[in-house]
Structure 1
Amino acid sequence: MSLQQMSTVVGGECADGNIIIDSISIDTRTLNPGDCYVAIKGSQFDGHDFVLQAEELQASAIICELPQKVNIPQVVVANTQEALAKLGRANRQNNKAKIIGVTGSNGKTTVKEMIAVILAEVGQTLATMGNLNNDIGVPLTLLRLKKSDDFGVIEMGANHPEEIAYLGQCAEPDVGVITNISEAHLEGFESLEGVAKTKCELLESLSKTGIAVLNKDDAFFDFCVERAGSSRVISFGLSALADVSPIAIKSQLREGQFMTRFTIKYQQELFDVKVGLVGDHNIKNVLAASAVALALGVEYQYIQKGLEKVKPVPGRLEPYVMPTGGVLINDTYNANPASLTAALTVLKEIGGDFWVVLGAMGELGEESRLLHIEVGRQIKSMGAMRLLAIGPDAKSTTDAFGKGAIFFETQEAMITTLKKELTGSETILVKGSRMQKMENIVNALMHGGGN
């Protein structure tokens, strides 16, 4: 796309529009020579402060909100973040790739990765890198689309109403997936119904020929179907009433590796799959990804091949054998009540003694203390031998658990206790919200760091 074309898309003006732009950057730390630098104003920084640095790094042009004293072409717009979104949408419209939008309270990243690895078996596939799923990350992902791409798998997150609607307008998905609806990021939505309404904004961005892939087991399934309007709906879930459902599930943990085998039923046909993950939530994730592939006409053999290549998302129920001989399950990517329930269910299915090492759950709003009390009781009822917890409201969790629970003020103290008391016969789950940095506990137990 030429700079002049970009200028037209964003509604700006430029003096030299003949330059061809191949890629865009919003960060001078990763800017490559020839990139067009977009100066984004963030809550912690202002990209305009780095315009001169971008020029020094050989940016070919800049998009900014105020004229800059530089010797490279510039396009001046009213809002650079909106300009970025317009460019992402324009690039999406200029490419033939089928776009799959993925949202939900839990499992977005895992399902996105599963879909991508399956679709890569049948065509060139672009996917969101990591969890760049917000109003900056989604346009940047769309800008990475190439003419040769057959599919684009776009993860969409939200912590306030209308955010998914904005992202959906950028991506214009052909298929929309809602993994589930739960208390994650509850404080930004006031109620669970508020979460549901926001997630369903994805469905409202589908075209008339779009396909909605929805969780039949979810309490908001009917709500989502209504929001899907005239779009075709394919359901997935553990329920036999789902369009895509499982039969004969068998899971195991051997030598520190998970494996689950089961049969998928779809339109009265059956095919076997295996994946290196465990838990009902991951089975649902497999079903969601398979439903997308089936909606796009992918043959069973390619779904099978793709799923065999799936690996745990880092920090999502990753099993390790500790130097002590015990098993550590690293689930530190994030935490909310639903994802904790999923992890506890896995531990209960595995059997044997298990401990829970928990960092406080974030973004739960006014319900935080009550929810922390509830999970303390739940951890106890699910059979945990011990509970070690840290962070805001986690004291409520240990109090609710009762005997065998310890609340810590510091990670150092927690690490010391764990190293002293673990015998090697236990399985331990380490989980917490990102702000708790519970990966420090994992590193200390696996590699001797920390205390």
Structure 2
Amino acid sequence: MRAISWLGTRSSIFLMSTARRRLCENVRWPMRDLHLSHLAKSLGVDCQNGDAVLRGLAIDSRAVKPGDLFVAIVGDRVDGHDFIESALANGAVAVACARPIDTPVPSIQIADSNQVCASFGRLMRADFGGVVIGITGSAGKTTAKSFLESICSGAGSTVATSGNQNNELGVPLTLARLSENPEFAVVEMGASRKGDIAYLKSMAAPQIAVLLNALEAHVGRFGSLDTIVETKGEILDNLTEADTAVLNADQLHYASWRKRAAPAKIIAFGEDSSADVRLLDTVDHGLDGSDITVDMLGTRVALRLSIPGKAGVTNALAAMAAAAALDIDPDVIAQGIEALSPVEGRGNTIQLDRGIRLINDCYNASPSSVMAALDTLNKARPPRTAVLADMLELGDDGPRYHREVGKHLSNLGIERVIAVGELSAHIKDSCSVQALHFSDTNELLADCPDFLQDETILVKGSRGMQLDRFVTSMTSSLGDAKC
């Protein structure tokens, strides 16, 4: 049962956010039409075969909607130019291409498709009168985005990042949907290297910047944790007094991020006593979620989360803090938090035959997220099995991180682990529980072990390890719950 009570006030933050909301409500106007000629001018090229009004952006001919600009991307395995006719059949009104085309359709020619998409996104953002919320971090971005999307949808029209479209192509696809003239846009931002967040932020220009954390995920790609901290912090650069930074008060880097965000307003979330949105109490129900009590800038909120684990609680706090910056009613915030169920591949539970429960958390993995997932699995009744594949992009420290996971498994006493991949052999060798090892997912699928009645199975690994194939195999054979 949700309960909301008034504890006090931190009126300076609420007055700031109310002013912003009133500005948006009073000044918002219908989005102006974006013409191909406008885009061409921003790119310094000419239109061919006339002009067109652009309603949206597509880089996949199958996803084209009427009125879209289709960007023909030349990839390693697929050339978008081969699908121009298909895109036009689906309603594309113009084409951006890297080489001349024979089709008499409004078009622009430019070699860099990323530049086309970025310019499209920037033009849409420049004409948008609502509020953009940007979210980044090493872990939890999609869950925090989904929480905030659920909240904002209860307060007004909202667009948000779809799936994993959080890179240099995905962010423009989200910004293209600003043509719908929503009140809120929630934009997730990921990074592969230093400078990526700065680049994405230059397109999205969020008035509210949410920084969840900086963890060891992908440290092999970045080179060091310090570089990850620096990169994630790029979302805080060049904020103004009218903007708000939402920061994790429990992170070691909180103080430096707070300075970096100046002169923006700060709303902190977490368990630390300094947090503006602070966790007061939690009752962990394992796979069934948590009951939490939160002091949200003076409003006491008690609610139930369906997202399991401590990470779910942290992401909910982040979303509540961002929603508080928007001055969304506390009851609407609570309703949005309680309405969200786990996203597929990110901790959703699948009920199989014979009482077997499968926790599908195979979208990605880092040492901290695997440890947290194992803690959640440990709250389930025995028997329990952890199916863990390699955590990739950890650099030279990869073996050590996998050994630490094995030791954590031993400390928890989870009954069995199935390790998949070369690095995961270190998990098997470092734990004292029953352990099986498979060289890759293909070998696992070819010789899948049996699972017991009422067993709980956690499936987690880096996306490149393709454990989603194991999940599909399990769910397609419900009768005996074998691969």
TM-score by length of 2: 0.87
Does the C-alpha gap of structure 1 residues 208 and 66 become closer, same or farther in structure 2, counting only changes over 3 Å?
A: farther
Aligned to 1:24, what secondary structure does the other structure show?
Answer: strand
Q: Which residue of 1 aligns with 2:474?
A: 445
Of the three residues 273, 276, 279, the one matched with 2:303 is 273
Provide Cα deviations, 1:246-298, integer angstroms capped at 9, x if missing partner: 12212325xxx613221110333312222212211110010000000001111
Does the C-alpha gap of structure 1 residues 317 and 101 become closer, same or farther in structure 2, counting only changes over 3 Å?
A: same
Matched, 1:289 2:319: yes
Q: Which residue of 1 aligns with 2:351?
A: 321
Which letter maps to 2:329? Answer: E
Matches within 5 A, 1:102-121: 102-121=135-154
Aligned to 1:224, what secondary structure does the other structure show?
Answer: helix
Does the C-alpha gap of structure 1 residues 353 and 97 become closer, same or farther in structure 2, counting only changes over 3 Å?
A: same
Aligned 8 A contact 1:126 1:151 in 2: yes
Matched, 1:347 2:406: no
Q: Which residue of 1 aligns with 2:169?
A: 136
Of the three residues 155, 171, 182, the one matched with 1:122 is 155
* Partners of 1:268 and 1:101 in 2: CA distance: 25
Q: RMSD over aligned Cα, in angstroms?
A: 2.2
Q: Which residue of 2 aligns with 1:228?
A: 261
Aligned 8 A contact 1:258 1:319 in 2: no
The Cα shift of 1:95 comes to 1.2
Does the C-alpha gap of structure 1 residues 150 and 402 become closer, same or farther in structure 2, counting only changes over 3 Å?
A: same
Matched, 1:190 2:190: no
Q: Which residue of 2 aligns with 1:384?
A: 414
The Cα shift of 1:352 comes to 4.3
What is the aligned length? 447
* Partners of 1:321 and 1:84 in 2: CA distance: 41
Does the C-alpha gap of structure 1 residues 278 and 31 become closer, same or farther in structure 2, counting only changes over 3 Å?
A: closer
Of the three residues 126, 135, 160, the one matched with 1:93 is 126
Which letter maps to 1:444? Answer: S
Aligned to 2:81, what secondary structure does the other structure show?
Answer: helix
Matched, 1:35 2:65: no
Aligned 8 A contact 1:165 1:205 in 2: no
Structure 2: unaligned runs, 5 residues or longer: 1-33
Aligned 8 A contact 1:3 1:21 in 2: yes
Provide Cα deviations, 1:157-202, integer angstroms capped at 9, x if missing partner: 1111101110000000011111111111212210001011111111
Provide Cα deviations, 1:349-378, integer angstroms capped at 9, x if missing partner: 445443211111112122212211221112
Matched, 1:427 2:456: yes
Aligned 8 A contact 1:124 1:151 in 2: yes
The Cα shift of 1:153 comes to 0.2
Provide Cα deviations, 1:204-244, integer angstroms capped at 9, x if missing partner: 15344211111111122123212212111111112233111
* Partners of 1:154 and 1:323 in 2: CA distance: 38
Q: Which has the higher contact order (CA 8 A, sep 6+)?
A: 2
Q: Which residue of 2 aligns with 1:63?
A: 96
* Partners of 2:410 and 2:64 in 1: CA distance: 50
Q: Which residue of 2 aligns with 1:312?
A: 342
* Partners of 2:407 and 2:267 in 1: CA distance: 36
The Cα shift of 1:203 comes to 1.0
Aligned to 2:437, what secondary structure does the other structure show?
Answer: strand
* Partners of 2:102 and 2:397 in 1: CA distance: 50
Which letter maps to 1:110? Answer: T
* Partners of 1:313 and 1:284 in 2: CA distance: 16
The Cα shift of 1:439 comes to 2.5
Does the C-alpha gap of structure 1 residues 403 and 279 become closer, same or farther in structure 2, counting only changes over 3 Å?
A: closer
Aligned to 1:157, what secondary structure does the other structure show?
Answer: coil
Q: Does 215-224 or 280-289 show the bigger shift?
A: 215-224
Which letter maps to 1:169? Answer: S
* Partners of 1:205 and 1:145 in 2: CA distance: 23
Matches within 5 A, 1:354-393: 354-393=384-423
Aligned to 1:356, what secondary structure does the other structure show?
Answer: strand
* Partners of 1:380 and 1:15 in 2: CA distance: 65
Aligned to 1:200, what secondary structure does the other structure show?
Answer: helix
Aligned to 1:225, what secondary structure does the other structure show?
Answer: helix
Does the C-alpha gap of structure 1 residues 307 and 57 become closer, same or farther in structure 2, counting only changes over 3 Å?
A: closer
Aligned 8 A contact 2:39 2:119 in 1: no
The Cα shift of 1:140 comes to 1.0
Provide Cα deviations, 1:399-446, integer angstroms capped at 9, x if missing partner: 1114511111354654577653x3224322111111222123333334
Which letter maps to 2:330? Answer: Y
Aligned to 1:233, what secondary structure does the other structure show?
Answer: strand
* Partners of 1:423 and 1:172 in 2: CA distance: 51
Provide Cα deviations, 1:25-56, integer angstroms capped at 9, x if missing partner: 22223234543222223344343344455456
* Partners of 1:417 and 1:47 in 2: CA distance: 39
Aligned 8 A contact 1:335 1:433 in 2: yes
Matched, 1:335 2:368: no
